[in-house]
Amino acid sequence: MSAVLGLILIPLAVGGLLCLLRSDALRTALVVTAVVVVGALSCSLAMRPSPMDLAELPFNAHTVSQGVMAVGIAISLFLIYVGIRARNALVVLLALAQGGLMVWFKAGPGAHVAVEQHLFVDNFGVIMALINGLVGGGICLYALGYMREYHGKAHADVRDRRPFFFGLLFLFMGAMFGLIFANNLTWLFLFWEVTTLCSFLLIGYTQTDEAKRNALRALVMNLAGGLAFALAIVFLHQKTGTIELQAALKSDKALALLPAALLCFAGITKAAQLPFSSWLLGAMVAPTPVSALLHSSTMVKAGVYLVLRMAPVVEGTKVGLLVALVGAVTFVIGSLAAITASDAKRVLAWSTVANLGLIVLCGGIGTYEAVWAGVLLIIFHAVAKCLLFLCVGVVEHKLHSRDIESMAGLVVSMPRVSVMMQIGMAGMFLAPFGMLISKWAVLKAVVDASPVLSVFVVFGSAATLFFWVKWMGKLLEVVTPPPRVSKELETGEAVALYGLSAATALACLLFPLISRHYIEPFVAGVYGLSASLEQGNVIIMIIMMALVLLFPITFLNYGRGVRVTDAYLGGANVQSSTRFRTSADTVQEVAIGNYYLHNLLNEAKLAWWGVAGSAVLLGLMFLLALLRL
Amino acid sequence: MSPWTRLLIYLVAAPILGGLLAGWDRRITARMQSRQGPPILQPFYDVLKLWKKENVVVRRSQNYYIFFFLLFTVFTGGLFFAGADLLLVIFALTLAAIFFVLGAYKASSPYSFVGAERELIQMMAYEPMVLLTAIGMYMVTKSFHVHDIAGHGSLLIFALPGVFLGFLYTLEIKFRKSPFDLSCSHHAHQELVRGITTEFSGRSLAMIEIAHWYENVFLLAWVFLFFAAMPALGIVMSVAVFLFMIFVDNVFARLKWQAALKSAWAVTVVLGFGNILVLSLWSGKPAAPPAVVDAPSAPVMVETTTPKLAAQPLPATTTTDRRN
Amino acid sequence: MSRFAKSPWLIHYDASSCNGCDIEVLACLTPKFDVERLGVVNTGNPKHADIFLVTGAVNEQSREVIRNIYHQLPEPKVVVAVGVCASSGGIFAECYNIAGGVDGVIPVDVYVPGCAARPEAIIDGVVQALDVLERKQKEMTALANSLDKALFQRATKADAPEILALQKIAYQSEAEIYGEDSLPAQQQTLAELEADFESVPDMAKPFGWDGPLPVPVGPAQIVFLKAVVNGKIIGSVRGYQLGDTVCLRRLSVHPYFWRRGIGRQLVRELEAAFPAAKRFEIFTGRESSRSLGHFRKLGYQEFATTQFNPKVTWVYMQKDRA
Ligand code: SF4
């Protein structure tokens, strides 16, 4: 109990404190301590048997609920103020609508609703808490060094608001813990709104026009999701008489369908699925730790968390099928769009959108196999994607560019970072590493549930392959060896990156254990039965892993028995692999650039079609939910 | 035959068979061009020679990738012949191909680089169809395991004619034959010098050849799987497919990569997906009905070691049924 | 016939042919002659080829190309000059832009006469080339097998061209480390290298040496060593004594023979060649961890660094005679 409360309250308290701290040394000390404490607490949570009994709260739940209400109103008011200042009617309207709705609900129909369990922790919650605590903690450590450098020389024009920045990071983290543990939907809703608010403030951190614009866009989209959430609470109460998440899952599926559809919609907005992907892509303007936080441990994961929670309700229904389709379409479009991007962060963002699409697909299908696969995906994606973002952040600081083309020869200039990036990418798509295991599971689940959907998965993964491998190749290729970067990593960055690389590797090695001790009990708890990987396949995976790990070992034999010559340039080399004599007798440098398939794929058009298609699908979903199909 | 024997036979016999196939390929091609052609054993001579040649590289580490390409190609075929999960086989195949591509990137030469990019495009072109083939087989036999698919009583080709044709289309890419010999070609007419293999020489080039032999045998064995219920027919058809590949190779000119990608995807959607669509409509409900959530208090059955996912106890009704 | 004779792959380069010979080369591939029945493949890629088939005489433009392609062919390799132009310059020999036959640029093994050379003659030339190929292959194997019989001898001026070629190959990977196209060792000309036998070059100054270099120096002060296997030079090093200090310079070993103790042996032999010296000194690039480690194992220790250019910093290492 205390661990759960601690996880929610400590980050919140630390966040508040950090806002007040001006001293760099003190801040560092506090952040490190808090990260250690939160990490230890989430680990201790994982050691306990779940689900936990949290019926007895050490405080008066009613008072807390009043407090929750007050904070909720405060947030709504603040958002209205933001909307007025930005002259954005949509923000004002949405904030007003959901704030008003909640006040009305609290005062009227929901005033006397009985809530048995305000908090609830099961194995899924534990997994999410671990991700949030460890990955999120890693990001905070990384941010220490990164932000110092960020304000040092890289972005001298941006006002240094680090106290505010770190305060928000921890606030975000605390809200995420609350979101994971809350069972009372009104509480959950509050934390949901806090993450929306934090993300808005963090995306707008640099206060450039672009940042402000993108932050506002993120706000509008997430508020739309928030409104759906608020509506879901009202409908759920009206139909089933409860506002508890777990109780809703146990209630009559037909009655809970509309609220579930609304919650799925909320999840889809937060998980940046099409048609709402643009806010996540716009969020790139923020400093890298923010992107990492949004993409890996918090925010978008909150969205898919909710969708996966709703899985048992929508399973087998047309609504579920449509949710799955939105995810599937997002997966394909996101993967194809990632091919066309050369900005590393943009590639990562599209890939996040795509992978979350896969998770939403799982949630929409909703069978036990699919949910099992979805939870696996969440784990692997969180670690690997976070690692990649943080690596890109480091590279951006050193090379002053995050264009993938400028990363040529990174193995020479920043060997350590490039190796970690390779690990992250391998973790994203390559057998026998993390994501591939989950993609495999997804494929099986999809085929079992509705084979027709599998066509999206196969095309999406083919596209995924293309953009990852060409990026990997870019890091390896050394046309003109760049100079070695002197100091690759700051201490905090090093801790985070090494930790995450280890985590990526460990997650792959230990996933059978993770599956057995956390995911399977959770899935079994919901469905009565669970999926798992076959023993034989696990063994084969481990053999593959062992073979791949041999790869670095072969480098012991590096450079033996070969003769180095120039690359073939039609014989016209001018004493090197990189320069050649042209027919006009001038000397030209070799330049090599990746394919982006611009003549086949157009990012804007793809996005347009994706938005249109998924918007239609979502509309259809609400229609069917209303008709209770 | 136990899986281990089959595995062993594959490891030993595949390079021999693959080399012979390559020899026949060159011989038949020559005959189709009214030439005499090289001896059947020519591919072996080539590889033996390459093995003894000096290894010339642009970047010192490039050859390690090739070694792993060979390793994982062999591993892939081994998995297949040992009767493992078809999806896993595909993933291992992809891993092998990625090592090849990364090696070419590592070589950092313009020609191998373009070859690598084209190879990637080809992978992107064939991957969906290959996966759909596995899925199609699963839908018919209810198992992803090569072992079970081969042991399935009926001829898969009847249920999967579209998938088979689509698979043939992608096979042409995998065999590196015209019209899809974009990333590297075995023939005299080349455009990117030697494409993806440009910067590999000596022993590494020999390894690439051997890997192709292993791969080709494995791919033909996959063709066999469509006819596994009648082994004799299966062998005949595998050979026929091989001859057909050579025929197409000699008849068609090379396509642009855009055309290769688009056409392969179109074929995948029309033939592969169409077939699967028909199959799923035909069999009425999806292959396995989703499970029912009765109550969390239901006996928890966490299945961990049962061989197949599909073989799990599944309640007969779906939520939709119950509500109606 | 050995495996080499059964699988000759070739690359065909047109140096400045009138295209007559080229057409005949292509004719060899046609059904009438079909060289593929002999296992011949026209690879078009030097890295894959065994035989370098050149048509036409060498002109200003093709000279470098021929040299480049030749160096990119892996050993063992054979050069076949097809047609009188490639053999001697032919009817173009007197032209203002023609440098003569191919053998003026690279060693030619087989000459195919004719203008244009007939396909039969070309095929015959290729077949003859196979014998040469086989012989070279045997030499190569013998070389690799007789490492333990490496001889360490004093080099003479006559060895200069071979040592220069070796130096260029050996320093290539160093250049890669620094992102340079070439290091000073690779930029040396033949004349400069020949001068190294007689006088102390600039690069042989010990660290911190301000004074002028002693000229002329006695032969005892300059020792130029080579490592020879089967008549081929696979390694070399030179030492210059100035006062009590001996400077070791330009230790190079052919990459094919790395990590087999050749370099270690060369340094030991050189140290032994200066019995009067009290101190030995070398320098190497700071990022060359391999050679740094190598010298540390031989008892050398870093004592100073200098910036050579923005990318390269030299580390000086020394060792006192025990
Ligand atoms: S030898 Fe005769 S045919 Fe051949 S290139 Fe010279 S001039 Fe032309």
> In angstroms, what separates the C-alpha of B193 from chain C's closest C-alpha?
6
* Inter-chain touch C173–A564, beta carbons under 8 Å: yes
- How many angstroms separate the CA atoms of C150 and C163, rounded? 16
Report the pLDDT value the prediction gives residue A61, as an integer from 0 to 100. Answer: 74
Beta strand ranges found along C243-287 (DSSP E): 245-253, 279-285
At residue C205 the predicted structure's pLDDT band, cuts being 50, 70 and 90, is confident
Nearest to A406, CA basis, from A389, A424, A418:
A418
Establish whether residue C87 lines the binding site of ligand 1, counting it when its CB lies within 6 angstroms of any ligand atom: no
Q: What is the mean pLDDT of residues A250-278?
A: 87
Q: Look at B286 and A449 and tell me if their CB atoms are within 8 Å.
A: yes
Handedness of CA B18, B23, B26, B29 (dihedral sign): negative
Are residues A320 and A299 both part of a single domain?
Answer: no
Q: Burial letters for C30-65: b for 16+ Cβ neighbours within 10 Å, e otherwise? A: eeebbbbebbbbbbbbbbbbbbbbbbbbbbeebbbb
Q: Are residues A246 and A263 in the same domain?
A: yes
The answer to whether residue A86 sits within a structural domain is: no
Residue A585 lies in a domain: no
Q: C-alpha angle with apex A311: A307 to A317, nearest 5 degrees?
A: 115
The rounded distance, in Å, linking the Cα atoms of A476 and B112 is: 13
Residue-averaged pLDDT of chain A: 86
- SS percent in chain B: helix, strand, coil, step 5: 65, 0, 30
pLDDT one-digit tens code per residue, A465-483 = 999 999 999 988 888 777 7
Domain coverage including residue A212: 1-64+100-314
Identify whether residues A159 and A251 lie together within a single domain. Answer: yes
- Position B320 scores a pLDDT of 35
Name the pLDDT band for C2 (thresholds 50, 70, 90): low
Q: Please indicate, yes or no, whether residues A331 and A381 belong to a single structural domain of this protein.
A: yes
Distance A154 CA to ligand 1 centre (A): 64
* Interface with chain C: mutation pick from B29, B32, B33, B35, highest number of C CBs within 10 Å: B35
Which of chain A's residues have a Cβ under 8 Å away from the Cβ of C13? 571
A540 chain-B contacts, CB cut-off 8 A: 79, 84-85, 88
Is A468 contained in some domain?
A: yes
Mean pLDDT score, A55-59: 71
Domain edge (last residue) among A298, A314, A330: A314
Q: Distance (Å) from the C-alpha of residue B96 to the closest C-alpha of chain C?
A: 22
Say how many residues make up chain C. 322
Indicate if the pLDDT at residue A562 is higher than 90.
Answer: no
Are residues A413 and A329 part of one domain? yes
Contact C76, C133 (CB under 8 A): yes
Q: Give the integer Cα–Cα distance in Å for B67 and B79.
A: 18
Runs of H (alpha helix) within chain C: 3-6, 20-27, 60-72, 83-88, 119-145, 160-170, 172-178, 184-187, 190-195, 262-272, 289-297
Q: What is the pLDDT of residues A265-285, one digit of tens each?
A: 999 999 989 889 888 988 888
**Is A140 within a domain?**
yes
Domain housing B29: 3-283
Considering the domain architecture, whether residues A228 and A145 belong to the same structural domain is answered as yes
Question: What per-residue confidence (pLDDT) applies to B207?
Answer: 93
How many structural domains comprise chain A? 2
Contact C37 B198 (CB under 8 A): no
CA-to-CA distance for A618 and A614, rounded, in angstroms? 6
In a domain, A13, yes or no: yes
For the stretch C172-199, pLDDT in tens is: 777 767 767 678 888 888 888 888 888 7
Q: What pLDDT is stored for residue B295 in this prediction?
A: 36
User: Is residue C84 in contact with ligand 1, taking CB distance under 6 Å?
Assistant: yes
Identify whether residues A299 and A414 lie together within a single domain.
no
How confident is the model over C158-168, as a mean pLDDT?
Answer: 87
ipTM of the complex: 0.90
Assess whether A410 and A302 both reside in one domain: no
pLDDT at A50 over 70: no
Residues linked to residue A412 through DSSP beta bridges, in sequence order: none
Are residues C203 and C249 in contact, defined by beta-carbon separation less than 8 angstroms?
yes
Together in a domain, A219 and A240: yes
Percentage, residues of chain C above pLDDT 90:
15
CB within 8 Å: B38 and C36: yes
A147 and A121 assigned to the same domain: yes
Q: Note the pLDDT of residue B296.
A: 38
Is residue B298 domain-resident? no
Report the pLDDT value the prediction gives residue B300, as an integer from 0 to 100. 41
Q: Do B110 and A476 touch (CB under 8 A)?
A: no
Residue B303 covered by a domain = no
CB atoms within 10 A of CB A10: 18
Residue A287 has pLDDT above 70, yes or no: yes
> Is residue A342 pLDDT above 60, yes or no?
yes
Q: Which of A485, A575, A578, A589 to mutate to test the interface with C (most CBs of C within 10 A)?
A: A575
Tokens 């198992």 locate to B143
CA A158 – CA A205 distance, rounded (Å): 9
CA distances B121 to A15, B173, C160, C288, Å, are 48, 11, 50, 38
B178: tokens are 């015209």
Chain B closest-CA separation from residue A135 CA (Å): 28
Residue A525 backbone class (left: φ over 0; alpha: ψ -120 to 50; beta: rest): alpha
> How far does CA C180 lie from the centroid of its chain?
19
**Domain final residue, candidates A296, A314, A332:** A314
Q: Would you call A501 exposed, middle or buried from its count of C-beta atoms within 10 A (0-12, 13-18, 19+)? A: buried
Partner-chain contact A559 C311, CB within 8 Å: no
Q: Is the pLDDT of residue C244 over 90?
A: no
Q: Which of A450, A540, A590 sits opposite B84 (nearest CB)?
A: A540
Which of A161-175, A572-586, C136-150 has the lowest average pLDDT? C136-150
Which residues of chain B are modeled with pLDDT < 50? 188, 285-324
Closest approach of chain B CAs to the CA of A249, in angstroms?
10
Peptide bond into C116 cis (omega under 30): yes
CB within 8 Å: A544 and B75: yes
Pick from B34, B52, B194: which is nearest to C48 by CB? Answer: B194
CA distance A607 to chain B (A): 20
pLDDT tens per residue, range A375-391: 988 998 988 899 998 89
Domain presence at residue B199: yes
Do A272 and A338 lie in one domain? The reply is no
The total of structural domains in chain B comes to: 1
Give the DSSP letter string of A573-596: BSSSSSEEE-TTS-EEE-------
pLDDT reported for residue B322: 34
* Structure token pair of residue A51: 């689900």
pLDDT band at C218 (very low <50, low <70, confident <90, very high): low
Q: Does residue A582 carry a pLDDT above 80?
A: yes
For residue B179, is the peptide bond before it cis, meaning its omega torsion is within 30 degrees of 0?
A: yes
Q: Does some domain include residue B240?
A: yes
Specify if A136 maps to a domain. Answer: yes
Within chain A, how many helices (H) and strands (E) appear? 25, 4
- Beta-bridge partner residues of B302: A530
Cβ–Cβ contact A485 with C under 8 A: no
For tokens 């006040």, name the residue.
A103
Q: Which one of A314, A337, A358 terminates a domain? A: A314
**CB C99 near ligand 1, within 6 Å:** no
At residue B224, the pLDDT reads 93
- What's the rounded Cα separation, in Å, for the pair B274 and A186? 46
Indicate if A504 and A396 belong to the same structural domain.
yes
Predicted pLDDT at C214: 65
Q: Is the CB of C83 under 6 A from ligand 1?
A: yes
Please determine, for residue A22, whether its predicted confidence score (pLDDT) is greater than 90: no
Helices (H), A366-433: 368-399, 410-413, 415-429
In this predicted structure, the answer to whether residue A163 has a pLDDT above a threshold of 80 is yes
Residues of chain C contacting residue B60, judged by C-beta atoms under 8 Å apart: 173
Indicate if the pLDDT at residue A139 is higher than 70.
yes
CB contact under 8 A, A560 and C258: yes
Per-residue pLDDT tens for C11-30? 999 998 999 999 999 898 88
* A270 within a domain of the structure (yes/no): yes
Of the partner residues B94, B128, B258, the one whose CB lies closest to the CB of residue A458: B128
Domain assignment present for residue B232? The answer is yes
